[in-house]
């Protein structure tokens, strides 16, 4: 189990809405290691613009695991998705995801599927959208399997997409895709918005889960607002989850303060809940 922080690679445009540590990778990795993090999750747009060997070596130098590469900004900054009504847009979304799978493979990481799945729209029927998503997920899982990269489907609040909002909906997709490399990840910010009971939902769908995002209910660092992280993290431990925990939060009041605030709140809880299994 590793406590991780999201880091934007320098090809991602700096913006207030970006939920990751930003700036030169050397500095981001150095800062996060010095705050006490065990690993990072990368938010990447164009892996081809990056020196992969440099990224790997900088992470190693700072003793940080790279556990996941996010694909969200391919949608966020370019508007590409697997269920876009235009075929050329869908193809480009898949091509770029495969590039990110290659990058993740070189780092020993997995990838996630967030908003890049797209949404229901007026030009396509619900069934067409779902079939396009399943086809893309199968294609990417086959590709991921060859590269030893797992694909983690993320549920997202209806405030950001109308497609796959709950763990129940994600589990249905995972069963339809039916591939050993196509799994689930849980983001507690989204769970707080979309699930009847966060802990019950974790228990019910834990068997599919390979990654976790942590944020408080106001999407600031855990401990800033009202979510009960001891209860939530204990539920993950009870379910036998020993994967990674990564913050995905607004960098408020500053990225340094958000990163320090998150670890100050989470590390004592993780030590208490996971005990000896903490750094397995």
Q: In the numeric block, which tokens belong to residue 133?
A: 């998503």
Q: Which stretch binds a second copy (CB under 8 A): 27-35, 61-69, 143-151, 190-198?
A: 190-198
Helix (H, G, I), strand (E, B) or coil at 257: helix
Contact residue for a second copy among 194, 208, 212, 235 (CB under 8 A): 194
Q: Does residue 73 have a cis peptide bond before it, meaning omega lies within 30 degrees of 0?
A: no
Is residue 215 within 8 Å of residue 192, measured between CB atoms?
no
Tokens 């699930």 correspond to what residue?
195
Does 228 engage in binding with a second copy (CB under 8 A)? no
Cβ of 184: how many Cβ atoms within 10 Å? Answer: 23
Assess 260 for contact with a second copy (CB under 8 A): no
Applying CB under 8 A, among 24, 51, 159, 175 the residue interacting with a second copy is: 159
- E strand or H helix at 153: strand 151-154
Distance CA 43, CA 247 (A): 12
Q: Are 179 and 141 in contact (CB under 8 A)?
A: yes
* 12-31 positions binding a second copy, by CB under 8 A: 16
Residue 84 or 183: which CB sits closer to a second copy?
Answer: 84
Question: Under the criterion CB under 8 A, does residue 245 sit at the interface with a second copy?
Answer: no
- From candidates 53, 123, 127, 226, binder to a second copy by CB under 8 A: 226
Q: How many residues bind a second copy (CB under 8 A)?
A: 19
- Chain residues in the site for a second copy (CB under 8 A): 16, 157-160, 162, 165, 192-197, 217-219, 225-226, 250
């Amino acid at each position: 189990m590793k406590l991780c922080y999201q880091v934007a690679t320098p090809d991602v445009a700096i913006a207030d809405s970006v939920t990751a540590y930003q700036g030169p990778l050397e500095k981001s990795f150095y800062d996060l290691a010095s705050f006490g993090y065990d690993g990072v999750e990368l938010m990447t747009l164009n892996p081809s613009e990056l020196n992969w060997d440099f990224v790997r070596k900088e992470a190693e130098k700072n003793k940080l695991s790279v556990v996941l590469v996010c694909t969200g900004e391919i949608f966020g900054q370019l508007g590409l998705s697997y269920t876009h009504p235009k075929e050329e847009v869908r193809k480009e979304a898949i091509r770029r995801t495969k590039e990110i799978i290659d990058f993740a493979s070189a780092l020993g990481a997995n990838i996630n599927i967030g908003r890049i799945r797209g949404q229901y729209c007026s030009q396509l029927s619900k069934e067409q959208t779902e079939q396009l998503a399943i086809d893309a997920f199968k294609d990417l899982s086959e590709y991921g399997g060859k590269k030893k990269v797992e694909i983690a489907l993320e549920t997202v609040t209806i405030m950001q997409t109308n497609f796959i909002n709950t763990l129940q909906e994600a589990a249905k997709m995972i069963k339809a895709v039916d591939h050993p490399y196509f799994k689930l990840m849980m983001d507690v910010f989204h769970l707080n918005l979309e699930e009847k009971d966060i802990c019950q939902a974790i228990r019910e769908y834990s068997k599919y889960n390979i990654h976790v995002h942590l944020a408080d209910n106001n999407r600031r660092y855990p401990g800033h607002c009202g979510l009960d992280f001891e209860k939530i993290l204990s539920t993950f431990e009870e379910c036998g989850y020993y994967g990674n925990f990564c913050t995905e939060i607004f960098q408020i009041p500053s990225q340094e303060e958000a990163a320090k605030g998150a670890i100050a709140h989470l590390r004592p809880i993780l030590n208490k809940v996971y005990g000896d299994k903490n750094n397995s």
